[in-house]
Amino acid sequence: MENNEKKVLPADDLNDQEQRRREKLAIYEEMGLDPFGHKFEVDSSASQLKEDFSSLENEEVREDATVRIAGRIVLLRKMGKASFFTLQDKTGKIQVYIRQDVVGEENYKLFKLADLGDICGIEGHMMKTKTGEVTIRATNYTHLVKALRPLPDKFHGLADPEERRRRRYVDLIVNEDSRRIAFLRPRIIRGIQNFMDSLGFVEVETSILQPILGGANARPFVTHHNALDQDFYLRIATELSLKRLLVGGMERVYEIGRMFRNEGIDTTHNPEFTTLEAYQAFGDLSDMAKMTEDLFHYIAKEVIGKEQFHWLGYDIDVSKPFRHVTMTEAIKEKTGVDFYQIKTLEEAKEVAAKFDVEVEPHFLWGHILNAFFEKFCEEDLVQPTFVYQHPVDISPLAKKDPSDPRFTQRFEMYIATHEMCNAFTELNDPLDQRARFEEQVEEKRKGNNEACEVDNDFCEALEYGMPPAGGIGYGIDRLCMFFAETDSIRDVLLFPAMKSVNK
């Protein structure tokens, strides 16, 4: 098929509405109109017009106020020589009143060809109906685009969540909450950027294709670069690249970017997702905790306009100081087991057996402590809580806790039982870093497919000297879920990963 050749569905594949809409294409062409439109100058939006003219008296017409607006017809009440319809643009909906004796017989005839879902342009004056609704009194109707498929039935819409996400373009037309979230997410991200910029951080971009698997423990996507004849990973984290920039003297850097992990899909995980990672030279874990609390307060107040949220079935208040607890303290509170007193791997395995905690072949002492925490403690972390002091065995990039080298200077912050961010006092000792990379290689040999590799270039960078630093990573999608108060990551992704279906 030539690129400019139109693909036309056989008539047998069309329902009655689709057939009638296609038949109208010839009528538009006979009228000298392109059924699929042209430029239209717009000077107004639905929400602004409703706000600006809300003070009109009922049945008042402002003939001195001429406006031009374009959008999609989402409600249509055709009558004899006067009709009402609702126009929807990106800001919302507004009613339009059109009369044959105002727009003229030919223009009204053109309007009568309209179907739900068509896109049109309206020029007119502002008025308020006798029932008090701000309305555009059309003086001219411009056909822009004929919709060849009807919108879903207004009473049932796109009821199936999977279908809504698969056909997001329709979902955004008919679902007000989907539109709310679609416009809220970029506002949240812009708020994050403004907040980080105000603290003197510089936003950077680093490579998505990476030759070494590192920066996190996760299964990667692998691709092949033909010109270099070399396999690359789609990045699973930006950490190691950003720390190189600290070595280079950029001091405060952050990146909001896409990550890719070849893992499961559920209500809080998507294989392609967005993170914010930030690194502050001459800082530590306490700076990351303060920054996190301040960031949540800033987004809540400045972007959303409230500090109480309902998420995943819980009422969450971000106005109060966030709780701080160590992993070991949380485990002891819930089970009575004190891992400060459990010194060896064998002791840890014995207590794991008593509490029916599964131990995998590659597990070390710290993995067992973490397994206890995940099994018994995460379900209680509802209000914002910083969980500190993760074992060194599961924290290959964090600085050791000077009070107990089994642990690291690390926290994860939880809301509604879900992790929201992960922060370290960053490991900057090149010798310790290389030793921990080697331990990760041994874990991979024992069956941990998510263990990272030795990044020799990063170790070399550390040998030039990386300043003491605090670092943190946030899941942007989960953060948007919280502030949008929606329970599925697929609702904050415009096009989430979906299994293909045959049509």
> Alpha helix (H) ranges present in 132-283?
161-166, 168-174, 176-198, 239-247
| Biggest distance spanned by C-alpha atoms of the chain | 90
CB-CB neighbours of 216 under 10 Å: 21
Distance CA(232)–CA(168), nearest Å, equals 31
pLDDT at 215: 81
Torsion angle of the four alpha carbons 493, 494, 496, 502, in this order, in degrees rounded to the nearest 10: 160
Q: How far is CA 147 from the centre of its chain?
A: 29
Tell me, what amino acid is at 78? K
* Closest C-alpha to 436, from 450, 454, 409, 448: 454
Are β-strands 323-326 and 385-388 bridged in parallel, bridged antiparallel, or unpaired?
Answer: parallel
CA proximity to 267, closest of 104, 143, 389, 416: 416
- Phi then psi dihedrals of residue 355, to 5 deg: -100, 10
Query: Among residues 451, 457, 396, which one has the least CA distance to residue 427?
Result: 396
For 159, 218, 262, the CA distances from 449, given in Å and listed in that order, are: 39, 8, 11
Axis-axis angle for helices 476-484, 176-198 (nearest 10) = 120
94 is written with which tokens?
């507004």
Are 66 and 140 within 8 A, CB to CB? no
Tokens encoding 388: 């500190």
- Alpha helices (H) in 232-376, listed in sequence order: 239-247, 285-298, 327-335, 345-354, 365-376
Quote the pLDDT of residue 3: 46
d(CA 408, CA 397): 9
pLDDT of residue 460: 96
CB-CB contact of 486 with 492 (8 Å) = yes
The tokens for 35 are 């059924």
pLDDT at res. 356 = 97
Which pair of tokens denotes residue 434?
A: 């290389």
Residue 306, sorted as left (phi over 0), alpha (psi -120 to 50) or beta, turns out to be: beta
User: Over its length of 503 residues, how does the chain's per-residue pLDDT go in tens digits?
Assistant: 444 444 455 556 889 999 999 999 999 999 999 999 999 999 999 999 999 999 999 999 999 989 999 999 999 999 999 999 999 999 999 999 999 999 999 999 999 999 999 999 999 999 999 999 999 999 999 999 999 999 987 545 567 788 888 899 999 999 999 999 999 999 999 999 999 999 999 999 999 999 988 888 888 999 999 999 999 999 999 999 999 999 999 999 999 999 999 998 988 899 999 999 999 999 999 999 999 999 999 999 999 999 999 999 999 999 999 999 999 999 999 999 999 999 999 999 999 999 999 999 989 999 999 999 999 999 999 999 999 999 999 988 889 999 999 999 999 999 999 999 999 999 999 999 999 889 888 887 888 777 778 899 999 999 999 999 999 999 999 999 999 999 999 999 999 998 877 65
Both tokens assigned to 366: 């710290």
Q: What is residue 278's DSSP assignment?
A: E
pLDDT value of position 5: 47
Measured between alpha carbons, how far is 29 from 31 in angstroms, rounded to an integer? 5
Among the residues of 58-160, which ranges form H helices? 100-103, 105-112
Work out whether strand 119-128 and strand 61-77 pair parallel, antiparallel, or are unpaired.
antiparallel
pLDDT of 439 reads 87
Pair of tokens at residue 162: 């999977």
Phi and psi torsions of 268, nearest 5°: -125, 5
Using N-to-C axis directions, what is the helix angle for 456-463 and 239-247, rounded to 10°? Answer: 30
| pLDDT score of 153 | 75
Residues in Cβ contact with 396 at an 8 Å cutoff, skipping those fewer than 6 apart: 217, 427, 436, 437, 439, 440, 452
Q: Residue 243 corresponds to which tokens in the numbers above?
A: 């720390």
